[in-house]
Amino acid sequence: MFTLSVSDLGLMWIGVEGTTVASALLIVLERKPASVEAAWRYTIIASAGLTLSLFALLLLYRETGTLDAFTLAAHPPPLTGSLVLVVGLALVGYGTKVGLFPMHTWLPDAHSEAPSPVSALFSGVLLPTALYAFLRVYDVVSQPVPAALRDLVIVFGLVTALVAAFLLQQ
C-alpha cells in the first residue's frame, strides 16, 4: 500500500525493495532446502535489478533536483542522454523484479518453491507493484523521450509474452 500511495519516487523504490525482503521470507516459510535456495536466488537477482533502478533514480535526481512525481509531471525535464539512460536503467531494474524476459530467471523457482498462497500473492500483488513503480518513473520521463525508446518498452513486453507462450508449448 505504501508503494502505491507515495508521490516520491525514492520512497516508492524503498517500498519495492521492502517487498523483496518480505517476499523472500515468505518463500522460505516451509523451510525446505530448495525454498531457501530459491529465496536467495530471488533476493540476489531482484536486489541487483533494483540497484539499477536506484541508479536510474539517482541520475534522475541529478538531472532534475527532485524525485517528486507530481513536480516532474508538471515540469517535465528536457531530453538529455541521461534521461534516456534513466528509462533504460529503470526498465531493466524494475523489469527484473517484474520478471520480464530475459531477467526472469528467479521467477520459476520462487513461484514453485513458495507455498501456493504466497505464489498467488506474487502474481497478484508483488509483480504488479514493481510494474507500477516502473510505469511511474516512465510516465514522468516519457514526455520528452523519443518514440523509439518508448517502443523498446513495448518490445520487452512482447518478447516476454512470446517466450512465455513458447515455453508453455514445450
Taking Cα atoms as reference points, which of 18, 8, 7 lies closest to residue 130? 18
Q: At residue 71, what is the residue type?
A: T
What's the pLDDT band for 148 if we cut at 50, 70, 90? Answer: low
How many C-beta atoms surround the C-beta of residue 117 within 10 A?
10
Residue of higher predicted confidence among 55 and 100: 55
- pLDDT band, very low/low/confident/very high, at 143 (cuts 50, 70, 90): low
Q: What is the per-residue pLDDT for 51?
A: 92
Concatenating the DSSP letter of every residue in 106-131 gives THHHHHHHS-HHHHHHIIIIIHHHHH
- Sorting pLDDT into bands at 50, 70 and 90, what band is 144? low
What's the whole-number mean pLDDT along residues 9-38? Answer: 85
Angle between helices 33-64 and 81-98 (to 10 degrees): 160
For 35-89, what is each residue's pLDDT tens digit? 888 888 888 888 888 899 999 999 989 988 888 888 887 887 777 777 778 888 8
As given in the structure block, the three cell numbers for residue 13 are 523504490
